[in-house]
Amino acid sequence: MNSFEEINIGDTLGPLELFVSKDQCRAYARTMGMGEGAGRFTDDEAARKEGLPGMIIPGNMSLGLLSKLVTDWIGSSNAWLTRMNTTYRVPVQPDHTVTIHGFITNKNPEERTTEIDVWMENEESERLVTGTATVEFRK
């Protein structure tokens, strides 16, 4: 990542292209200890009974993947993701490729922060999850 001084509004992060498998989705649900009510994240049939097209990725997992775009960009620099605000627009289905994008929309030199629009798209470029992230650069 560039230093705070070298960052410009309009700079982009990623894109990060990911194939999220059903097994990865199940592993996430298992790691999180999701029990009752997690069927929609682990089983196609249980998800269909809830009116969904099939298994979906937990919202928190999408939040984690959007955050990963930002923390990958930060790397080992002395910067900190201070905020991530997400909106779940469309259920995200596993066994599909999603692409995560970021775009710097603002830079505050006094607070040494940047604002970043982040979003996850499917193969049809439909925005499934959108959000804004704030990163603080420490001296």
Residue among 8 and 97 whose Cβ is closer to another protein: 97
Q: How far is the CB of 74 from another protein (least distance, A)?
A: 9
Among 15, 59, 103, 112, binds another protein (CB under 8 A): 59
Binding to another protein in span 2-41, by CB under 8 A = 18, 24, 27-28, 31-33
Return the beta strands (E) in 1-138 as ranges.
12-20, 79-88, 96-108, 113-121, 127-137
Neighbours of 39 (CB within 10 A): 16
Residue among 60 and 99 whose Cβ is closer to another protein: 60
Cα gap 93→114, rounded to integer Å: 31
> Could you tell me how many residues of this chain bind another protein (CB under 8 A)?
31
Binding to another protein in span 81-120, by CB under 8 A = 81-88
Q: How far is the CB of 69 from another protein (least distance, A)?
A: 11
Q: Per the structure block, which two tokens stand in for 14? A: 């990623």
Q: Which residues of 13-30 are buried (b: 16+ CB within 10 A; e: fewer)?
A: bbebebebebeebbebbe
